[in-house]
C-alpha cells in the first residue's frame, strides 16, 4: 500500500511539474529564440527604414530580452513591394512594413491608419484618434481587419506630411487642376478631387519622369525627398500637402504572433506606443533636414494659409472621405469616427 501511494504521489508530482513547465513555456519567457524575417515594401534608402523599422526592431528585441530576433530584408529580396503585405499574410515572410496596407489595395482599412486627406495634423492628434482616446479607438477597426487577413498590426509611425513636390507652385487647390502627378491609392483620390490627373508608377521611376516632363510632380513623404534626390528635379514643396501626418504600419503573420508566449506578446505590445513617438520624432527631424536640402538647392517651401487648409479640408471631407468610406464597413465606421474627432477639435 505504501509503495502504491508513493508511486501515485511521485506520478502526481511529475504531472504538476510537467504542467508548470508547459505553462511557463506558453506564458512566460521562453528558452528558445524565435527568428522572424521581415521584408518592408521598401529598402534601406527609404526614410522609413532607419527612422521607422530599425528602431522598432531594436526595441522589440530588447523588450523580449533577445528571445525574438528580426532579420530585415530589402524590398525584392523575397517578394516585390506590392506583394509584401500579401506575402506576410500568407507566411511567405514573417512580417512587413508598408503604407496604407499597400495603398489599400490589400486592405481598405489601411487608409484609416495611413492618414485621411487633410485629417490629423500631428503625431499627438493621430495617436489620440487611433488609440489614445476611448471615444474613438479607430485602431481597433484596423486591427480587426488585419486579423481577418491573418495578420497582427504591431507597429506604427508618423512620417510627417505627405506633400506635393512639383515643378510649379501650389498655393491653392485650383493650382492642381490638370496637373499630372504621381499619385497612388488615397493620394489619387485626393488629386482627382482637386481636378488633377493622377499617374501610377513605381517609386524608382518618379525622378526620371519628372526630369523628362512626363509628370509635373509627385506626392511623397517629405522626409524622404532628399533620399530620392527629388530636390534635383522639382522646385516647390507645398506643405502640409494632401495628408499632414502620413503613417506607416508594421504587420506580423498572425500564426507567428500566436506562436509567441504571452510574455513575449505583452512585451512587444508594450513598445507599440513608445516606438510610435520615438520614430515619429525621428521622421520629424528628417522632414526639417529634407526641406533644408530643398531650399539649399534653390527650391521653395510653400506653406498653405489657414484659409486654404480649411478649404482643402472641407473639399476632402465632402468628396474624398466618402470614397474611402465606401470601400468597406470598417472604413465607413472609421470615417465617421474621424469626422467626430475633427468636430471635437473644432476643425469641422
Could you give the CA distance from residue 52 to residue 46 in angstroms, rounded to a whole number?
A: 10
- Greater confidence (293 vs 9) lies with 293
Give residue 106's pLDDT.
Answer: 84
The 3-class secondary structure across 121-169, one letter per residue, is CCHHHHHHHHHHCCCCCCHHHHHHHHHHCCEEEEEEEEEEEEEEEECCC
CATH code of the region 34-344? 3.40.190.170
Model confidence over 44-92: pLDDT tens digits?
Answer: 988 899 999 999 999 999 999 999 999 999 999 999 888 999 999 999 9
Name the pTM for this structure.
Answer: 0.89
Q: Exposed, middle or buried: residue 149 (CB in 10 Å: 0-12, 13-18, 19+)?
A: middle
Reported as a pLDDT band with limits 50, 70 and 90, residue 348 is confident
Terminus-to-terminus CA distance in the chain, angstroms? 82
Please identify which residue in the block is written with the cell numbers 504542467: 19
Give residue 104's pLDDT.
Answer: 52
Q: Percent of the chain having pLDDT more than 70? A: 91
Burial of 23-40, coded b for 16+ CB within 10 Å and e otherwise, reads eeeeeeebeeebebbbbb
Amino acid at each position: 500500500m505504501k509503495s502504491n501511494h508513493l508511486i501515485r504521489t511521485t506520478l502526481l508530482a511529475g504531472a504538476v511539474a510537467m504542467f508548470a513547465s508547459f505553462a511557463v513555456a506558453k506564458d512566460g519567457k521562453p528558452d528558445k529564440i524565435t527568428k522572424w524575417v521581415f521584408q518592408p515594401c521598401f529598402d534601406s534608402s527609404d526614410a522609413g527604414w532607419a527612422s521607422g523599422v530599425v528602431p522598432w526592431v531594436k526595441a522589440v528585441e530588447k523588450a523580449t530580452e533577445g528571445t525574438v530576433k528580426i532579420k530585415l530584408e530589402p524590398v525584392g529580396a523575397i517578394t516585390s513591394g506590392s506583394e509584401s503585405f500579401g506575402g506576410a499574410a500568407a507566411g511567405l515572410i514573417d512580417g512587413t512594413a508598408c503604407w496604407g496596407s499597400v495603398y489599400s489595395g490589400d486592405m481598405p482599412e489601411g487608409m484609416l491608419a495611413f492618414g485621411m486627406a487633410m485629417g490629423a495634423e500631428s503625431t499627438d492628434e493621430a495617436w489620440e484618434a487611433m488609440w489614445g482616446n476611448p471615444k474613438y479607438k479607430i485602431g481597433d477597426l484596423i486591427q480587426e481587419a488585419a486579423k481577418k487577413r491573418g495578420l497582427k498590426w504591431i507597429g506604427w509611425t508618423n512620417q510627417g506630411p505627405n506633400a506635393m513636390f512639383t515643378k510649379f507652385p501650389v498655393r491653392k487647390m485650383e493650382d492642381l487642376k490638370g496637373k499630372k502627378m504621381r499619385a497612388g491609392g488615397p493620394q489619387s483620390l485626393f488629386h482627382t478631387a482637386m481636378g488633377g490627373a493622377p499617374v501610377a508608377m513605381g517609386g524608382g521611376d518618379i525622378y526620371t519622369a519628372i526630369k523628362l516632363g512626363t509628370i509635373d510632380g509627385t506626392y511623397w513623404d517629405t522626409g524622404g525627398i532628399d533620399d530620392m534626390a527629388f530636390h534635383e528635379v522639382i522646385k516647390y514643396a507645398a506643405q502640409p500637402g494632401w495628408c499632414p501626418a502620413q503613417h506607416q504600419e508594421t504587420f506580423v503573420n498572425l500564426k507567428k504572433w500566436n506562436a509567441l508566449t504571452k510574455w513575449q506578446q505583452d512585451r512587444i505590445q508594450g513598445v507599440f506606443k513608445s516606438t510610435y513617438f520615438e520614430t515619429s520624432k525621428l521622421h520629424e527631424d528628417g522632414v526639417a533636414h529634407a526641406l533644408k536640402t530643398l531650399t539649399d538647392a534653390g527650391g521653395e517651401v510653400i506653406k498653405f494659409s489657414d484659409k486654404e487648409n480649411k478649404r482643402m479640408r472641407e473639399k476632402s471631407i465632402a468628396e474624398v472621405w466618402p470614397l474611402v468610406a465606401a470601400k468597406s464597413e470598417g472604413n465607413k465606421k472609421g470615417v465617421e469616427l474621424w469626422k467626430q474627432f475633427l468636430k471635437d477639435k473644432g476643425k469641422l
